[in-house]
Amino acid sequence: MSDETDLIKLYSGRILALASDIPHHGRLAAPMATVRKRSPLCGSAVTVDLSVEDNRISEFGQDVKACALGQAAAAVTGGAVIGRSLAEVETARDALRAMLKENGPVPAAPFDGFEVLEPARDYKNRHASILLSIEATCEAMSQALQSDCA
């Protein structure tokens, strides 16, 4: 396969559609926690705001400044996180990381939308951008739960 064909496969219509319609795009007015993550390799950045109620994400917002792959991953994250526990989000993060780096399976529902990013496995320089939103979500949720217990 040529490099051009690989790029066309990588930047599929589904990825571009997700990148242009990110759920919960924007910041929250009064979040319980905020985490900003940046990929030094490509400069992509994601800021996640969230609040937690009954140990589950009740409100979520994100400001995404990333490549199409990072935006698509943020769209999948944003579409799946409301109502999820920290354990569920961590499991999805770990599964996404394994899918990208170890040829692992696609994360389970409701995070199975990450399947669209399987072609990015071969592009290690894109992995950090793809992981930004879900990693920031895990970190923000951990902070929110700690402050909620204080």
pLDDT tens-digit readout, 134-148: 999 999 999 999 986
- Cα torsion through 52, 144, 133, 18, rounded to 10: 20
pLDDT reported for residue 3: 52
CATH of the domain at 47: 3.90.1010.10
pLDDT reported for residue 2: 46
CA–CA distance, 91 with 108 (Å, rounded to integer): 9
Provide the pLDDT confidence category of residue 21 given band limits of 50, 70 and 90: confident
Can you spell out the DSSP letters for 80-138? H-TT-BHHHHHHHHHHHHHHHHH--PPPPTTSGGGGGGGGGGG-HHHHHHHHHHHHHHH
Distances in Å between the Cα of 54 and the Cα atoms of 10, 31, 86 are 39, 15, 11
| pTM for the full predicted model | 0.89
- The whole domain housing 126 covers 3-149
Using one digit for the tens of pLDDT, what is the confidence trace for 29-48?
999 999 999 998 888 999 99
Whether the per-residue pLDDT at 5 is higher than 80: the answer is: no
Q: How many domains does the chain have?
A: 1
Using one digit for the tens of pLDDT, what is the confidence trace for 74-116?
999 999 999 999 999 999 999 999 999 999 999 999 999 999 9
